[in-house]
Amino acid sequence: MKSIFKLALCLSLLSGCTKNSGPLLDNGAPSIAIFAPTIGAILTPGQPFPLRVSLTELQEIHFYRVVLHSPSTGFDVTLKNEHLDAVNFEIDEMVTMPNLQPGAYKLEVIANDHNGNSNKASVEVILE
């Protein structure tokens, strides 16, 4: 009788246990919304301009970069490069435009998460 009781007790304890399946795999890339500068904004070399960007991610953003790209020369200038571990992150600051030649440039924001998912968004700006 003791054996049956012990067996029943063990079975009831085991059936009540649940195994943690671990963290969910995140297959989605971070979301990026650029609010400023706007498309076609006219910026002045050497002068500050507003940079407003919203980054969101299901788990955590690993890092982001803000790059100014010249389509005519292929030259890139990194304006910001930051490591962070956040689900939501807001950039809202004044950034000084580098002294570059006048012309059309692409301001691009790139974000990666801890699962290797990457996304980018861009706006074209004009340097005068």
**Residues 4-13 pLDDT 10s:** 655 554 555 5
Q: Does a structural domain hold residue 15?
A: no
Q: Does a structural domain hold residue 106?
A: yes
Q: Which residue has the higher pLDDT, 2 or 120?
A: 120
Q: Could you give the number of structural domains in the chain? A: 1
CATH classification at residue 111: 2.60.40.10
pTM of the model: 0.78
Poorest-pLDDT segment among 45-49, 71-75, 85-89: 71-75
Q: What is the pLDDT of residue 73?
A: 85
Range of 103's domain?
A: 27-127
Q: Does a structural domain hold residue 2?
A: no
- Asked if pLDDT for residue 126 goes beyond 60, the answer is yes
Q: Does a structural domain hold residue 4?
A: no
Return d(Cα 65, Cα 118) in angstroms, integer. 11
Return d(Cα 85, Cα 61) in angstroms, integer. 5
Q: Does a structural domain hold residue 21?
A: no
Q: Does a structural domain hold residue 93?
A: yes
Q: Does a structural domain hold residue 88?
A: yes
Q: Does a structural domain hold residue 102?
A: yes
Q: What DSSP line would sit under 37-102, residue for residue? A: SPTT-EE-TTSEEEEEEEEEEEEEEEEEEEEEE-TTT--EEEEEEEEEEEEEEEEEEEEEPP---S
Region 12-39 average pLDDT:
74
